[in-house]
Amino acid sequence: MVAAGLLALTATTVTAGCRAVSVDPAGGAAAGPGGLGGLSRSQGEQGDAEGAGTAETSDASGTSGTADTAGAAAGGRSAAGRDGGGSPSRTDSAGPEGGSGSGAAHPTAPDRRSGYAPAPGPVPAPGAHGVLVRELQARLAELKLFDHGPTGYYGSVTAAAVASFQGRSGLPRTGGTDSATWRALRDRTRQPTWTQLYPPTSRPVAAPDPRCLTGRVLCISKSSDTLAWMIDGRVISAMDVRFGAQYTPTREGAFRITFKSRHHVSTLYRTAMPYAMFFSGGQAVHYSADFAARGYHGASHGCVNVRDRTKIAALFAEVRTGDRVVVYK
């Protein structure tokens, strides 16, 4: 009986931690400890990954470090290889959709200080990458034909959006951007701004839940896969997030930050959870190297994963114990 009690106590204690769940080619989630698996979202949706992802390691003392993985060789962070979403970057990567790669900065990459000037030369084409593709995607987004943030890679999602525009404009639906298509698109849209070319999140931040409009709140939307750090109704910063798998869902509701752990290591899965901010039992907002490397081809075991290490480091420094967390659909 004593042994059973100790076992129950241990089971309760070690649940303060999350681990990534992989997606197999059949579309399900690979089973983790305890047989957990299955994603609550479409496997194929937004399969973007930062080319310069980091692998998180943990030393004997529990502090974490980073090991750079493929994608940093070009000297700078790479954007997503898939054109379904991406992070702000001055380097746009080429590669098959669903993968990532490193590439040299586009020769006409805009300068934030001087503003964006339209890139001269040929029109963007399928398979191309760079700021001109970002402009194409931003213009399509203005017409509600491209529902992700620009990535700089011209893949199948972009081609489908171009074909839709061509059909609407009475042009041949090829999915390729010829001179007539490019001219028609530019005539019907405005010149995109820097923020439109390099948005802070892959998808627009959702309208805040009413509970997010007062005080200091981490406003986390499952519909847009975004976290907005808000103070008195004003968005201070925003970032991409992902959530738990089907059988380990991220709890919804209003919570408070109970404690913070800069170099946290999961006691259940023995994996690093840097910049962890716990809000509901073992569920926390934290940086995920797996999310940074593989995007939405995985899920957590209930935590809210953030893939931008710089952003969550800044957020961790600002958030206080007791600040509110609202998770909503």
pLDDT in tens, 293-303: 888 889 999 99
Question: For residue 55, what are the β-bridge partners?
Answer: 67
Which alpha helices (DSSP H) does the chain contain, by range?
A: 2-13, 131-142, 156-168, 179-188, 194-197, 289-294, 309-318
- Model confidence over 15-40: pLDDT tens digits? 456 766 654 333 334 333 333 223 33
Query: Over pLDDT 90: what percentage of the chain?
Result: 52
In this prediction, residue 221 carries a pLDDT of: 98
* C-alpha 128, offset from chain centre: 22
Instruction: Inform me whether the pLDDT recorded for 326 exceeds 80.
Output: yes
- Give the pLDDT confidence score for residue 291 in this predicted structure: 92
Which 8-state DSSP code applies to residue 34?
G
- The pTM for the full model equals 0.57
Strand 298-299 to 324-328 pairing: unpaired
Q: pLDDT tens for residues 248-269?
A: 999 999 999 999 999 999 988 8
For 252-285, the three-class secondary structure string (H helix, E strand, C coil) is: CEEEECCEEEEEEECCCCCCEEEEEEEEECCEEE
Could you tell me which of 190, 189, 165, 162 has the C-alpha nearest to residue 177? 162
Name the residue with higher pLDDT: 104 or 109: 109
Q: Which domains does the chain have, with CATH numbers?
A: 15-46+203-328 (2.40.440.10), 70-200 (1.10.101.10)
Tell me what percent of the chain is helix, strand and coil, each rounded to the nearest 5.
20, 25, 55
> What pLDDT does 19 receive?
65
Convert the pLDDT of each residue in 215-235 to its tens digit.
999 999 999 999 999 999 999
- Between these two residues, 280 and 100, which has the higher pLDDT value? 280
Handedness of CA 146, 299, 36, 4 (dihedral sign): negative
Higher pLDDT, 150 or 2: 150
Task: Calculate the alpha carbon distances from 156 to 72, 76, 97, 98, 194 in Å.
Answer: 25, 25, 8, 11, 24
Cα–Cα dist 270/17, whole Å:
8
Q: What is the pLDDT of residue 320?
A: 98
Distance between CA atoms of residues 183 and 60, nearest Å: 60
The pLDDT of 190-197, averaged and rounded, is: 92
Average pLDDT over residues 298-312: 95
With beta carbons less than 8 A apart as the criterion, state whether 49 and 292 touch: yes
pLDDT at position 258, please? 98
How high is the pLDDT of residue 199? 86
Euclidean distance between CA atoms 75 and 5, whole angstroms = 54
Percent of the chain with pLDDT over 70: 64
Q: Is the CB of residue 30 less than 8 Å from the CB of residue 23?
A: yes
Position 99 pLDDT exceeds 50: no
126-141 per-position pLDDT tens digit: 999 889 999 999 999 9
Phi, psi dihedrals of residue 166, rounded to the nearest 5°: -60, -45
DSSP state string for 92-126: -----TT-----PPPTTPPBTTTB-----SSPP-T
Q: Mean pLDDT, the chain, as a whole number?
A: 73
| pLDDT (average), residues 114-122 | 50
Listed residue (99, 101, 98, 97) closest to 89, CA to CA: 101
Supply the pLDDT for residue 43. 28
Query: What pLDDT was estimated at residue 286?
Result: 98
C-alpha–C-alpha distance, residues 276 and 218, integer Å: 13
**23 vs 253: CA distance, rounded Å:** 27
